[in-house]
Amino acid sequence: MDLLVSSAIFLVVFAIAIIVFTSREGDASADKVARRMAPLPEDSPEDVDITRQVRKPEQGLLTFLYRTTLLRSLEQSIWQAGLFMRTSEMMLIMVLMFLAGGTVTRIIFGDALFALGGGALSASLPIFYLRFRRRRRLKAFGAQLPHALDLLRSSLEAGHSLLRGMQVVVQEFGEPLGSEFRTVLEQTRIGLPLTRALGELLKRMPEEDLRLLVVAVRVQSEVGSSLAAIIGRLSEIVRTRQRLRLQIKALTAQSRMGGMIVGLLPLIVLGAFSLIQPGYTDVLFHNPTGLKILKAAAVMDISALLIIKRMLRVDY
């Protein structure tokens, strides 16, 4: 009951802090827009930057998080997942999930350490969801990229410019490649150089195959060459890399499945015995020694899963 009361108080205080913080941010943004729209003095040496700047808080906990790049990494993950929400909103969701998971785990097990672990697991669920959406979106982007390169090459060979070829790509392709290239075109229309717009695209979609296109366009803009031939060759390279990636995934499928089965087998056996013979597992949940054994087993099981995942990672 004490945990529930303290959690409710913390939740109310955190919600009020979020509301105050977002309202101050909105006022500061309005003042900043008003200053930008005001006419500059004739002798002003100020160079106005039209690109979006990442806001850095001046003090408090958020300053520490920005210095450790935690908030910036979270913000980039939100962009790459294709979600349109603020970092503060995602943090609020994580805090709510932590409180809910910790409260439920404390009620079920009655142990503070289990409550902390349950809260941490619940708070990490939004991060897992972001990683899932990000991975799926990058995969869809990579699958569309070779066909988009072929269309760009055809447009260049027909005598169109690179920007006109990107317009054709935007018209022919859907989410996510079409929307990302549309953003590139919109950035070039407001005065951003094409190479920098493609660099911003690479930040939003950190795909290694896309990096090759960005480098090719940058080199062509500096030294000059046949961009159509370069993009045609690049399309072949991207398809070769994708085939290699699928071959590696197929060769490591058995080991990955074995690691998943070994990691989940203790949970399956424990759940089965809890349903068939509850007396066999009561000592693990109601005895101090059993709780220690259960905690040690959970730590070793998670460590084994992480080690197996690291061993199966192939860098190429």
pLDDT tens for 267-296 read: 888 888 888 887 777 777 777 888 888 888
Residue 226 tokens read as 């046949």
The reply to whether 81 and 177 lie within a common domain is: no
Last residue of some domain: 134, 162, 197? 134
Determine, yes or no, domain membership for 30: no
Determine, yes or no, domain membership for 53: no
Backbone φ and ψ of 193, nearest 5°: -60, 150
User: In whole numbers, what is the pLDDT of the chain averaged over residues?
Assistant: 76
Q: How many angstroms separate the CA atoms of 216 and 231, rounded? A: 8
Q: What is the CATH number of the domain that holds 242?
A: 1.20.81.30
The reply to whether 73 and 126 lie within a common domain is: yes
The reply to whether 78 and 165 lie within a common domain is: no
Q: 300 with 307: CB under 8 angstroms?
A: no
pLDDT at position 221, please? 77
Low-confidence ranges of the chain (pLDDT < 70): 1-69, 224-225, 315-316
Q: 259 with 252: CB under 8 angstroms?
A: no
Q: How many angstroms separate the CA atoms of 204 and 264, rounded? A: 34
The reply to whether 234 and 256 lie within a common domain is: no
pLDDT at position 233, please? 87
Count of structural domains, the chain: 3
pLDDT at position 115, please? 80
Listed residue (225, 178, 196) closest to 82, CA to CA: 178
- Kindly give, in sequence order, each residue whose CB lies less than 8 Å from that of residue 293, ignoring residues fewer than 6 positions away: 284
- What's the domain range around 103? 2-25+59-134
Residue 187 tokens read as 């950035």
Taking the model in full, what pTM does it have?
0.63
pLDDT at position 6, please? 54
The reply to whether 283 and 265 lie within a common domain is: yes
- Kindly give, in sequence order, each residue whose CB lies less than 8 Å from that of residue 162, ignoring residues fewer than 6 positions away: 152, 156, 194, 217, 227
Q: 163 with 194: CB under 8 angstroms?
A: yes
Determine, yes or no, domain membership for 52: no
The reply to whether 126 and 146 lie within a common domain is: no
pLDDT at position 36, please? 47
Last residue of some domain: 225, 248, 271? 248
pLDDT at position 9, please? 53
The reply to whether 101 and 153 lie within a common domain is: no
The reply to whether 202 and 306 lie within a common domain is: no
pLDDT at position 60, please? 52
Residue 41 tokens read as 């003095």
pLDDT at position 12, please? 47
pLDDT at position 45, please? 45
The reply to whether 257 and 217 lie within a common domain is: no
pLDDT at position 79, please? 81
Determine, yes or no, domain membership for 48: no
Determine, yes or no, domain membership for 307: yes
DSSP 8-state code for residue 69: T
The reply to whether 162 and 272 lie within a common domain is: no
Determine, yes or no, domain membership for 31: no
The reply to whether 9 and 112 lie within a common domain is: yes
Residue 98: alpha-carbon gap to chain centroid: 20
